[in-house]
Structure 1
C-alpha cells in the first residue's frame, strides 16, 4: 500500500480540479443530454492520461481504462454525468448558465473526484488487473446504468468490483457512511391515465367522469406505504401529480391523470406494492378506459459484503470519521444494477456539511473541500485490491 501522504493530490492539482468542477457546474445537462459534458470529460482524461478512453457507452457514457502489468481483477470506479432539470438560484459566481438546468445533486463534484483518481493513476498505475473510471449518463432517471450494461461496448469491460459514492448533506464534512446491506431504496413512478366521457357541467349524468375513481385512488394508493422510520419493512407511496379535466367551469371532466412514486427498502417489497397498486386501480376504474405506465425505475442498491469491508478499511486507512448504518438512504440510485450484473458493488456516502442545503434544492452546491477526500477513498480502494506502483 502506498502511504496516504504520497497518494494525496498536490495543491496545484486541487486548484485545477476545483476550476474544472466549477466549469462543469456552469454547464449542466439533464439525463440523456450529456453530450457536451462527456466531450469535456474525454478532453480532461486525454490531458491527464489513460491507457484507453472509450466514449458513447449506453448513451454518452465514458470509460477510461488503466491496465496493470499482471493479471488481476477489474475494479470500476463510477460517477455520474447528468445534472437536473431544476433552475439554480444560488449566487455563486459559477452558477449554472443553462436556464432550467442545474448541477444540484453534486454530480459535478463526483466527476471531478474521479478525475482526481485519473491524476493518481497517471502517476501510480496499477500493479495488476485493470481499473475502469466510468462516467455514467442518465443516473437521475434510472435509465443510465441499464443502458450501459446493455451496450455491446460494455461487454469487454464488465468489472469484478464496482465502487461509487454520493455526497450527503446533513452529515459532518468528510464523514464516511456505509450501509450494512441496502444502500438505497427501490423506487418507481406510476402514471395512471383515466378516460371516460366529458359532458356539460349542467348534465354530468350524461358523461362519465373519472373524478370519483381519482378521489378513491388518491386515498388508496397513499395507504400502500406510510413511510415513517426506516426499517426492514419500509415502504412509502407519494402522490406527485394529479390532473382532472379541463380548467373550466362548464365541462364535466372526461379524463384524468395521477402520478405516484412508490418507494421501498427492497425489490421484493416493491413487487408487492406494484401488484397492490395495479389491483387498486382495477377495482376503482371498472367503467373507465385505463392505462398504466412505469417510469424512473430504480432497483434497490445492495452493498456486497466484501466491497463494503474494503470501504471500511479505506476509511480507517485515510483517518476519516466512519459511520456504519443499518438501513439505506430513502432516495434511489441506479448503481445497484452493476451488482446485479455480477460486480461486487458497494456505494458509500461522504458527509458534505451539517448545514448544507438538501440534494435537489435549487441553492445546492457541491463543497470543493470534498474533492481530495473522495479522491483518496477511491485511490485507496484501488490500491487495496490491485496495488499501485510507486
Structure 2
C-alpha cells in the first residue's frame, strides 16, 4: 500500500478518536477523584471500582458494537476515496476494538495508581514501550523481517499490547487483594454515582467543546490541505511516545490530589520539575526521531513528519507542564475549572481564528495551522495557570 494511502486511511480514525475522547473524559478522567474519596475504605473502594469498571465496559462495549456495525455507513459519510473504502473499514473496525481494550486498561491502571503500586506501574510502562517497539517492528516497520501491514499493523499492535496489559494488570490487582468480579456488580443505593455524573458531565462538556473546535479549525483545515495524514502521524508519535511518561505522571498527580484532598505547592512544583526532566530527555533523543519514525513506525516520508513534530514540540513542552495542573484539577474534582478555560479558549481564540479564515485574513498552510493549534495549547495553559493561582489564594 502506498505511503500516502496509508496516511489517508489512518487519518480517517481522527473522528473516531475524538468521539471516544469525549466519552473517556466524561467517564474515566473523573474516576481519580471519585475513587480517591474511598481509598481509606477498602470495601467501599472495591464496590466503586467494580461498578465503575462495569459502566466503562458497558458504555464502551455499546459504542464499539455500534461503530463496527455501521462502519461502512460512517466511512461513506467521510467522502473517502472509493479505492480506499474497504481498507478504511477494516482499519476502523480493528482500531475500535483496540480502543475498547485500551479503555479497560486505563481503568485498571488508575486502580494501581490509586493504590500506589508504582513498581508495577513502571513495569507496565516498560512492557508497553517494549511490546510496542517489537510489534511495530514486526508488523509495520520497513525492516527486512517486517510483514509491513501498514495501518492495520498499527491497529493490531494496539490490540495485542493493550490485551496483554489488561491481563497483567488484572493479575497484579488480584495479587494485591483486589478481585474485580462482575458478580459483585451493584448499582442500587450507590449515591456516589450521582457525584460521578455531576463531575463527569462538566468534564465531558469541556471535552466536547474543545474537540468541536479542533474538528472545525484544525482537522477540517488539514483535510482541505490534504495534510490530515501527516498531522495524524506526527501527533501519533508525540502522544504514543514522547508524552507516554508525561501522561503516566499525570495519573500519579491525580492519585495524590484525590487521596490527599489536594497537594501542597511544593509538591506540585516537584512534579513540574520531573516533567521538565522528561523534556530534557526529548531534547537528548531529538537527533534520532527521524530515523525512529522511518524505521520503527514504518513511515517512508519521515522528513515531513519530523519537520511538523519539530514545529509543534515547543507547544507540547507547554502542554506537558500544563498536564500537571490539569491532573491536579481532575484529582480534586474541579472539572468546572477545566470547562471554564475550554470555553474561553475555544470560543474566543478559535472563534476569532474562524472569523479570520472566513474573511480571508487567515490563509491556512500546514505550518500555520500547526502553529495555530500550538497557540491554542499555550493560551489554554496560561488560563489554567491563572485558575490554579486563584484557587491557591482561595485555599481550593
**Shorter-chain TM-score: which interval?**
under 0.3
TM-score (structure 1 length as normaliser): 0.28
Q: Which has the higher strand share?
A: 1
TM-score (structure 2 length as normaliser): 0.28
